[in-house]
């Protein structure tokens, strides 16, 4: 029975991270190219907002993907999804904020459950 749980956690961890990277890679490219056109939802400045988004949507998902410091790596992702929901998309229709809600749920489960057996954390 434990093997099924660990396989499920691996699928959840890897799948969620790969999907999040589709949002993080374009932001990383934007940052590396020097294009700082980005939102500033919490008032810390555009470059800082973009930099934090790259950490949360690129670097942290890479850590979650490989299962390294998994629980810790989910925290910036969760915070970023909360910002997306409550500061960026709160007045938008549900369908617009739905993706952020789903990512919030996925990475919250990973925070609670951990990386599972098939991860660097377990080695």
> Is pLDDT at 2 greater than 80 in this prediction?
no
96, 89 Cβ separation under 8 angstroms: yes
Q: For the segment 6-59, what is each residue's pLDDT rounded down to a tens digit?
A: 999 999 999 999 999 999 999 999 999 999 999 999 999 999 999 999 999 999
> Is pLDDT at 1 greater than 70 in this prediction?
no
Residue 83 pLDDT: 98
Residue 101 pLDDT: 98
Residue corresponding to tokens 């749980």:
5
DSSP structure string for 70-121: HHHHHHHHHHHHHHIIIIISTTS-HHHHHHHHHHHHHHHHHHHH-S-SSSST
3-state SS, 42-71, equals CCCCHHHHHHHHHHHHHHHHHHHHHCCCHH
**2 or 27: which carries more pLDDT confidence?**
27
Q: For the segment 64-96, what is each residue's pLDDT rounded down to a tens digit?
A: 999 999 999 999 999 999 999 999 999 999 999
- Paired tokens of 122: 């377990």
Q: Three-class SS of residue 20?
A: helix
Tell me the pLDDT band of 122, cut-offs 50, 70 and 90: confident
Say how many Å lie between the first and final Cα of the chain, rounded: 20
């Amino acid at each position: 029975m434990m093997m099924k749980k660990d396989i499920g956690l691996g699928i959840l961890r890897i799948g969620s991270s790969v999907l999040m990277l589709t949002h993080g890679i374009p932001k990383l490219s934007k940052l590396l190219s020097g294009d700082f056109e980005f939102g500033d939802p919490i008032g810390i400045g555009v470059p800082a907002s973009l930099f934090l988004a790259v950490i949360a949507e690129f670097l942290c998902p890479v850590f979650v993907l490989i299962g390294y410091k998994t629980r810790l790596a989910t925290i910036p992702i969760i915070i970023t999804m909360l910002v997306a929901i409550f500061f960026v998309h709160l007045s938008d229709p549900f369908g617009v904020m739905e993706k952020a809600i789903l990512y919030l749920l996925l990475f919250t489960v990973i925070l609670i459950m951990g990386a599972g057996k098939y991860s660097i954390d377990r080695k």
